Amino acid sequence: MQILPWFGGSAAVWTTCLVFFQSVLLAGYAYADLTHRLGARRQALLHVGLLALSLAFLPILASSGWKPQGDEQPIARILLLLLASIGLPYFLLSTTTPLLQAWYWRRFRSRVPYRLFALSNLASLLALIGFPLLFEPALDLRQLGWMWSFLFAGFVVLCTLTARLSMNGFGTDEVPAAPRAAPLSMASQLQWLALAAMGSVMLLAVTNHITQNVASVPFLWVLPLALYLGSFILAFDHPRWYVRPLFIAVLVALLPAMAFYVPSLKLHVAVPLYLAGLFVSCMFCHGELARLKPDPLHLTRYYLMISLGGAFGAVLVAILAPLTLPGYFELGIALVLLALLLVLRLRRIFMWGGLAVSVVTALLVMRGVHDYSAGVRVMERDFYGVVRTADHGRPIPYRSMYHGPIMHGGQLLGDSFRNTPADYFGPTSGYGRVFQSLREMRRKQPLSVGILGLGAGVVAAWMRPGDALVFYEISPRVVDIARREFTFLADTPARTELVMGDGRLSLEREPPRSYDLLGIDAFSGDSIPMHLVTREAMAVYLKHIKPDGVIVFQATNRFINLLPVVRRLAGEFGLEAVNVADVPDAEEGPEYWYSSTDQIIVTRNKALLAWPRIAEAAQPIEDRRELPTFTDSHHNLLRILK
């Protein structure tokens, strides 16, 4: 929650964090497997020492010194930040499941402890769901950090007592004699690895697809993880939950269906289908894992291979896919691999049917890749998402930029049209009305403008000779494509500057800029970096605008109602806020290059708000008094979902 806005606020931060937690989980399980060979006493003493050392990492709030400067590699920065702030505490938490089960088996050999794995995942699921519903609305960031730290300190005490009981239960460092278990085969361990990796790959691939390529709905990335944990709970609680013939039959039907709908951007179709497909896929993978449980003497190795598979799958999707794939193709690849894994787990009589499903799935995936790429001029990817451009052959040729499923600007082609403001920045938009009104009021004096979020650079079309324009952009890929595919930056007569990095963090480091207009438009798809609409952010913006300057917030969003949030911020700082809802009328002419948009004008300049061009379109914003002012340490998107 704390570092999400530092790196753009997108689902990619979430998936990178999952890589960290899966990797540390692997380290914890490896530690449990290795120290199991030390004997009860030495293992317990080592663990108690590490538990005591971990208290030095509390509280778990990350230092502001970790905020990116703009030129770092975000994945490495996030992983290092997490390692430094929460690495050892989470490492010790991750050892709990295998260690406690191993200690349990040492004392009570008559009972198999695998069901405790389901219990640990149930606790994780309750925490995952409870955080946005119970804890985040009631507590701010600092309070949450201290609460977690106190709970962790309690865990350290309980785990220390348990370790002492384990240590005192034996008089020597030798594990008591027990019936010899059959040695583990490499084939068994590879099956554990493959099944665990496939579940992890499906989790992250589905998360990426529905949050980046379909819709960046807040909390939507929590649902896949909840289903993933739920499948672990059911598979390891009792064999009755994994009805193998049923889940295999449903998976056989869902694999081609998911492959067929890969190109679909319809939220009401894609999200239920892929969430259901993820659950069934994970039930198959984890149910098969549960069926392959070894003798408890091999318990720690079993969990080690499960965690190794989970970490391997996370690395494939969250790190290797963005570096090697130009678009969101990992889901299609995952579906084909899952179909092949299904074939390997079927008996011979059913293998031919499984192969047929694999072939159909592969063909549908190839069709989806073709549809996703059809008509696309450029498609490139970085940590912040996939950027595409496409030309539309209407009466006047037009080129659009897409970030995920959302258009982020475009340009009319041809020398006589190409510097025309388009999309969300047309003459009747909030931006268009403010630019025209400012020039009329100030008798065409040069303007100083700052914009958080480059897109295609359309705002540059509003600039005139003598103006100064500064763009703040976090994605190097967006900058490169804006320069190669569009001419706004090259054509503008204004003095332009491009500042790389998160816009708010860059403004915090700069001296006052005295902007006439500051635009807040740094949203990726429909995702909202909440640190751009907080009390602290507004204070930064006001430092950089003139006393009679204006801030324009891009509030166009399919899922989030930003209007009351900005209204509360404006009122707290003594500013006026009005909304300009621009809905171009397609019947009035062929101007298909204009898009519907909501843009909030925030200023203390009452003369500007009364200027005819703004006054005729300005709409008051309802003040929701029950909605608290958003701050860096306390905000909740559930309250502003549409």
- pLDDT, residue 154, reads 92
- pLDDT, residue 605, reads 95
- pLDDT, residue 171, reads 42
- pLDDT, residue 502, reads 86
Where are the CATH 3.40.50.150 domain residues in the chain?
Answer: 425-461+468-475+495-630
Of 369, 455, 366, the C-alpha closest to 410 is 455
- pLDDT, residue 53, reads 93
- pLDDT, residue 637, reads 67
Is the CB of residue 575 less than 8 Å from the CB of residue 602?
Answer: yes
Q: Residue 183: CB partners within 8 Å, gap ≥ 6? A: none
Query: For the whole model, what pTM was predicted?
Result: 0.81
- pLDDT, residue 505, reads 87
List, for the chain, all residue ranges whose pLDDT scores fall below the cut of 50: 170-176, 587-589
- pLDDT, residue 57, reads 87
Is the CB of residue 32 less than 8 Å from the CB of residue 93?
Answer: no
pLDDT digits (tens, 9 = 90+) for 109-144: 656 567 777 888 888 888 888 877 778 777 777 888
- pLDDT, residue 642, reads 64
Superfamily of domain 425-461+468-475+495-630: Vaccinia Virus protein VP39 (3.40.50.150)
- pLDDT, residue 526, reads 57
Is the CB of residue 362 less than 8 Å from the CB of residue 418?
Answer: no
Q: Give burial (CB, 10 Å; 0-12/13-18/19+) of 456.
A: buried
H-run or E-run covering 496: strand 495-500
- pLDDT, residue 522, reads 80
Ordered DSSP codes for 419-455 = TS--BTTSTTSHHHHHHHHHHHHTTT---EEEEE--T
